[in-house]
């Protein structure tokens, strides 16, 4: 059993198709098939049910898959550690973040990180917090910026979480049109009565606002839903409706008017999560420090986001 066989096995399991997996791995399909056949022979079990146009894992394959992912992650970590002996002149960091953070905090972090460590490649995974936590548990991420709790007891036992900053939720509308509310803040009742530009269901923001409306027994008006963050903000700028977003998303967007939501509960904590049972690589340590530095700069007096964003106490779990 070798890493190439395990990589081929994991890719076939992911795609459910030998040909597509071979394309992703830049292999000829017969070569990949021989790798899998050799692996099955060495292990003495069949790993896939093979039917025309459909490949699924056997019970043995399902047991092997998480082990294979961990072994591949460990091998990648070893390569990274060896590359980093050159002092971060080269290497790789795998960072996960939610869609709203990718369009705000992560952009600023990457600009600073790239300037300081130009030889380190950064791989971004943009998902909801729960998917990012799963990726951390599987070992396919080094760090993740999340906005929900870690969740299950098993995850809490493995993951370390550090609060980075807290930001308010704001109602955004087109700056070219009159304010949709009368006061300096918007109540949930006022928001529900306005045409909403809604986000996909896998957004943490969608889940939290849906829960808030449900608790208040409000039925929001929907203008359009399902678009990703950038498209949704463009819809709002053109006057198609309003949206509730984290404050940092609306910073430096002159086409948007941002109005804070009334109520202390309409804020969220951004946390940096990692596996506590795995020593961080040099690149991961550098990225962690960079995120903390950028968080400080965002919340500094006079910064555009300062009125809406507060620095969290370090070490929160």
In terms of domains, do 102 and 115 share one?
A: yes
Q: 317 pLDDT band (50/70/90 cuts)?
A: very low
Mean pLDDT of 174-189: 94
Q: Is the Cβ–Cβ distance between 138 and 66 less than 8 Å?
A: yes
* Distant-in-sequence, close-in-space partners of 225: CB < 8 Å, separation ≥ 6: 196, 197, 198, 199, 200
What is the model's pLDDT at position 111? Answer: 95
In terms of domains, do 258 and 275 share one?
A: no
From 11, 35, 68, give the residue that closes a domain.
68
Q: Is the pLDDT of residue 150 over 60?
A: no
Q: Is 29 inside any structural domain? A: yes
Q: Is the pLDDT of residue 27 over 80?
A: yes
What is the model's pLDDT at position 314? Answer: 47
What is the model's pLDDT at position 1? Answer: 84
Mean pLDDT of 65-76: 91
CATH number of 260's domain? 3.40.190.10
In terms of domains, do 20 and 50 share one?
A: yes
Q: What is the pLDDT of residues 238-295, one digit of tens each?
A: 999 999 999 999 988 999 999 999 987 888 899 999 998 887 888 888 999 999 999 9
What is the model's pLDDT at position 86? Answer: 59
Give dist(CA 314, CA 317) in Å, integer. Answer: 9
In terms of domains, do 141 and 153 share one?
A: yes
Q: Which of 62-71, 168-177, 246-255, 305-314 has the lowest mean pLDDT?
A: 305-314
Q: Is the pLDDT of residue 315 over 50?
A: no
Tokens coding 196: 């909403």
For the chain, what percent of residues have pLDDT higher than 90?
63
Q: Is the Cβ–Cβ distance between 246 and 164 less than 8 Å?
A: no
Of 283 and 81, the structure prediction assigns the larger pLDDT to: 283
In terms of domains, do 176 and 246 share one?
A: yes
In terms of domains, do 260 and 292 share one?
A: no
In terms of domains, do 210 and 228 share one?
A: yes
Of 150 and 103, the structure prediction assigns the larger pLDDT to: 103
Q: 149 pLDDT band (50/70/90 cuts)?
A: low
Q: Is 236 inside any structural domain? A: yes
From 15, 40, 68, give the residue that closes a domain.
68
In terms of domains, do 153 and 274 share one?
A: yes
In terms of domains, do 253 and 273 share one?
A: no
Q: Is 87 inside any structural domain? A: yes
Q: Which of 191-195, 206-210, 234-238 has the lowest mean pLDDT?
A: 206-210
For the chain, what percent of residues have pLDDT higher than 70?
93
In terms of domains, do 133 and 108 share one?
A: yes
Q: pTM higher than 0.95 for the full model?
A: no
**Tally of domains in the chain:** 3
Count of CA atoms in the C-beta half-sphere (13 A) of 264: 1
From the list 160, 186, 161, 189, the residue with the least C-alpha distance to 171 is 186
Q: Is 73 inside any structural domain? A: no
Q: 300 pLDDT band (50/70/90 cuts)?
A: confident
Q: Is 252 inside any structural domain? A: yes
Mean pLDDT of 209-219: 94
Range of the domain at 143: 80-164+268-311
In terms of domains, do 199 and 145 share one?
A: no
In terms of domains, do 109 and 151 share one?
A: yes
């Amino acid at each position: 059993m070798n890493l190439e066989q395990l990589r081929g096995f994991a890719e076939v399991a992911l795609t459910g198709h030998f040909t597509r997996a071979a394309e992703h791995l830049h292999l000829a399909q017969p070569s990949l098939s021989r790798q899998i056949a050799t692996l099955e022979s060495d292990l003495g079990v069949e790993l896939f049910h093979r039917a025309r146009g459909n490949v699924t894992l056997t019970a043995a394959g399902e047991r092997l898959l998480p082990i294979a992912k961990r072994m591949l992650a460990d091998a990648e970590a070893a390569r990274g550690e060896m590359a980093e002996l050159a002092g971060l002149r080269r290497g790789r960091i795998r960072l996960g973040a939610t869609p709203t953070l990718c369009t705000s905090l992560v952009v600023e972090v990457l600009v600073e990180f790239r300037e300081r460590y130009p030889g380190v490649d950064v791989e971004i995974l943009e998902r909801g917090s729960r998917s990012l936590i799963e990726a951390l548990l599987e070992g396919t991420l080094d760090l993740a910026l999340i906005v929900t709790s870690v969740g299950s007891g098993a995850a809490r036992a493995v993951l370390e979480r550090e609060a980075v900053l807290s930001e308010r939720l704001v109602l955004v509308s087109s700056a070219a049109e009159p304010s949709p509310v009368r006061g300096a803040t918007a109540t949930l009742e006022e928001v529900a009565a306005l045409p909403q530009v809604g986000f996909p269901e896998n957004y943490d923001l969608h889940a939290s606002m849906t829960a808030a409306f449900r608790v208040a027994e409000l039925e929001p008006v929907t203008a359009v839903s399902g678009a990703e963050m950038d498209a949704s903000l463009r819809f709002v700028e053109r006057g198609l409706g309003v949206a509730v977003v984290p404050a940092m998303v609306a910073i430096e967007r002159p086409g948007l008017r941002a109005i804070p939501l009334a109520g202390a509960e309409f804020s969220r904590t951004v946390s940096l999560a990692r596996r506590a049972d795995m020593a961080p690589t040099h690149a991961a340590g550098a990225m962690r420090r960079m995120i903390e530095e950028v968080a400080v700069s965002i919340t500094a007096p006079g910064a555009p986001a300062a009125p809406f964003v507060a620095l969290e106490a370090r070490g929160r779990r």
